[in-house]
Structure 1
Amino acid sequence: MAALTSSPFHIVHRTAAAVLGGYAFSWGVIAFGTAALFAAGMEFHDAEHLSYLVGLLVFLVAFLLAFAARSLGRVWLVMLGGGAVLAAAASLLQQQLV
């Protein structure tokens, strides 16, 4: 088993992935959740508040997983890529609703 590096550079990148990547991913979850719940018939503000609550939990899990994952590149890919895909899906769903 290879030793894990804990250089200051590595720690800064893990922290940036946790904070920025977690924010991007949770933002995508919130946007998609709000659009999907509204499309399912829930009142907009109720859907928004529920999505924010779920988004907070998603951010916490994403933050912790950024430090637990072995591959930092995979963390960035999943966080930013997943957030972008969810935001794009939310945008398409919103366009269908309007």
Structure 2
Amino acid sequence: MATLTPSTSRSAVLLRIATAVLGGYVFCWGFIALAVAGLYALGMAFHDAEHLGAILAFLLYLTVFCWAFVTPNLPRAWIALAGGGAAMAAAASWLQHFLVA
């Protein structure tokens, strides 16, 4: 088992913080985009969909922020958060394309 030096543990904590803050932001940004597009497509008023998506994203951000600290595999967390956010943003863009056309 490898021992952690103070600099290693400090950098590990900084990487966790970056994953939680930035990865969580990207994930929630994609969620809000998809929620607004999906709820608007279902007939909800745009601003109502926007507010509901933001409220739910706040709860989601708290969840993924905490998850980023407890997950044992940090690269997998980045893939899940950044990749999931990008996938949801792409799906929202695709859905918006059909709403405008």
Tell me what 2:80 maps to: 78
1:87 partnered with 2:81? no
Larger Rg: 2
Number of paired residues?
97
Q: What one-letter code is carried by the residue in structure 2 that aligns with 1:15?
A: I
How far apart, CA to CA, are the structure 2 residues paired with 1:41 and 1:59? Answer: 26
Q: Unpaired segments of 5 or more residues in structure 1? A: none
Q: Which of 63, 69, 75 lines up with 1:67 in the alignment?
A: 69
TM-score by length of 1: 0.94
Is 1:7 the counterpart of 2:46 in the alignment? no
Q: Provide the TM-score with structure 2 as the length reference.
A: 0.91
- What corresponds to 1:18 in structure 2? 20
Report Cα offsets for 1:53-84 as digits up to 9, x if no partner. 00111111010000010100111000000000
After TM superposition, which residue ranges in structure 1, 4 or more long, deviate above 3 angstroms?
A: 2-6
Percent identical residues: 49
Matched residue SS, 1:7: helix
Q: CA deviation at 1:3?
A: 7.5
